[in-house]
């Protein structure tokens, strides 16, 4: 069976930085309250006119430039997002048009914060089957547009961003994405969801309708997140034929520093092996682990030949893990 490796990557975060002190001016909170409970100090918030597709396109363009890759050679584009510009066209189609990948098949995946790994694993299957040779996997979310900015329990947690990865088949053994794991936990679907007021079909009312917004059961979500992520890494490592000690870097979903530390403890991973950038960005949903991997590589936390564990959980609930040999 062919292997699939990452050949290039790109990322984009909005220019606007919103600090905890900035949020304290609009909701009843403080820098101390947010930092001690989440580990977050600031987050990037997209401009009002900046769409999710704009971020996805910029990240994709960087991946193409860095990889010196011809967009005409891209066979498949998958975008992971739950904050698409609209129900359709697919975000992948907008990315395709912008980068000139005229020969690519395109579709989106919605798996909330687990979206990047679901998209990466899905793209890998198309490549190992021989159907395609190259794919562009993008994770992009503008979480600021689905926040209730009156709810301090949720609005302090999230930010906006995007990352993109070019992947292709290789004949080199035991490199790239060496194992995958995905799991649905639908029995906990009400722990985190986006809700909106309902309007009857064909009924028009002269009233203001509240935009869709995130609601979350934090304490209940915490336990499920920790257990599901630790289990996902353990299963993915066994499928890869390696021990947890052989993993050089664990890159978890950046949702909450307390969750990250609890997962690390369950895995027996020392602090220096766990990559964390939540203090700068908060939770960017599908883009979180994708941007974290980018920054782990750029900072030298991940080196050539290292085994890397990517692990996520997201609304659904869904969880996933990948073991990558960089």
State the catalytic residue, choosing from 20, 256, 283, 322: 283
- pTM of the model as a whole: 0.94
* Residues 159 and 10 placed together within one structural domain of the fold: yes
Cα dihedral: 44, 222, 234, 181 (round 10): -60
Q: How does the average pLDDT of the chain come out, rounded?
A: 93
Domain residues for the domain of 135 are: 3-173
- In this predicted structure, what is the pLDDT of residue 200? 61
- In this predicted structure, what is the pLDDT of residue 197? 64
State the catalytic residue, choosing from 20, 155, 249, 253: 253
* Residues 155 and 213 placed together within one structural domain of the fold: no
* Residues 258 and 198 placed together within one structural domain of the fold: yes
User: Which pLDDT tens digit goes with each residue over 135-148?
Assistant: 999 999 999 999 88
CA-nearest of 261, 258, 231, 200 to 321 is 231
* Residues 310 and 275 placed together within one structural domain of the fold: yes
User: Which pLDDT tens digit goes with each residue over 194-228?
Assistant: 887 665 665 555 555 457 888 888 889 999 999 99
Active site includes 150?
no
* Residues 167 and 181 placed together within one structural domain of the fold: no
Active site includes 206?
no
320 pLDDT higher than 90: yes
DSSP letter assigned to residue 308 = E
* Residues 187 and 157 placed together within one structural domain of the fold: no
User: Which pLDDT tens digit goes with each residue over 106-145?
Assistant: 999 999 999 999 999 999 999 999 999 999 999 999 999 9
* Residues 138 and 185 placed together within one structural domain of the fold: no
Active site includes 134?
no
* Residues 185 and 279 placed together within one structural domain of the fold: yes
The number of distinct structural domains making up the chain is 2
CATH number of the CATH domain containing 259: 3.40.47.10
The last residue of a domain, from among 154, 173, 192: 173
- Quote the CA–CA distance of 219 and 253 in Å, as a whole number: 17
The last residue of a domain, from among 173, 193, 224: 173
* Residues 9 and 143 placed together within one structural domain of the fold: yes
* Residues 220 and 306 placed together within one structural domain of the fold: yes
SS (H, E, C) 239-272: HHCCCHHHEEEEEECCCCHHHHHHHHHHHCCCHH
User: Which pLDDT tens digit goes with each residue over 46-86?
Assistant: 999 999 999 999 999 999 999 999 999 999 999 999 999 99
User: Which pLDDT tens digit goes with each residue over 249-294?
Assistant: 999 999 999 999 999 999 999 999 999 999 999 999 999 999 999 9
* Residues 217 and 139 placed together within one structural domain of the fold: no
The last residue of a domain, from among 173, 193, 213: 173
- Quote the CA–CA distance of 105 and 96 in Å, as a whole number: 9
- Three-state SS for 210? coil
* Residues 97 and 245 placed together within one structural domain of the fold: no
């Amino acid at each position: 069976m062919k292997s699939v490796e990452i050949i290039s990557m790109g990322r984009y975060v909005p220019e606007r930085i919103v600090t905890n002190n900035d949020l304290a001016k609009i909701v009843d909170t403080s820098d101390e309250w947010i930092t001690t409970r989440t580990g977050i100090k600031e987050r990037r918030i997209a401009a009002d006119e900046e769409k999710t597709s704009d971020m996805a396109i910029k990240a994709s363009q960087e991946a193409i430039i860095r990889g010196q890759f011809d967009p005409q050679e891209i066979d498949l584009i998958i975008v992971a997002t739950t904050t698409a510009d609209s129900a359709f066209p697919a975000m992948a189609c907008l990315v395709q048009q912008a980068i000139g990948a005229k020969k690519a098949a395109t579709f989106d995946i919605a798996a909330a914060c687990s979206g990047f790994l679901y998209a990466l694993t899905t793209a890998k299957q198309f490549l190992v089957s021989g159907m395609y040779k190259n794919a562009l996997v993008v994770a992009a979310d503008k979480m600021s547009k689905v926040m209730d900015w009156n709810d301090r329990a949720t609005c302090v947690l999230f930010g906006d961003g995007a990352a993109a990865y070019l992947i292709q088949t290789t004949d080199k053994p035991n490199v790239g994405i060496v194992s995958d794991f995905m799991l649905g936990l639908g029995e906990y679907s009400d722990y985190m969801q986006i809700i909106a007021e309902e309007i009857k079909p064909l009924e028009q009312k002269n009233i203001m309708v509240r935009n869709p917004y995130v609601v979350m059961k934090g304490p209940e979500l915490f336990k499920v997140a920790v257990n599901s992520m630790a289990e996902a890494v353990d299963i993915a490592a066994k499928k890869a034929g390696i021990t947890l000690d052989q993993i050089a870097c664990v890159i978890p979903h950046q949702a909450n520093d307390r969750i990250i530390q609890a997962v690390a403890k369950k895995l027996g991973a020392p602090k220096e092996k766990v990559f964390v950038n939540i203090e700068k960005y908060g939770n960017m949903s599908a883009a979180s682990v994708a941007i974290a991997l980018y920054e782990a590589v750029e900072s030298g936390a991940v080196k050539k030949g290292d085994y890397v564990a990517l692990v996520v959980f997201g609304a659904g609930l869904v969880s996933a893990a990948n073991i990558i040999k960089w």
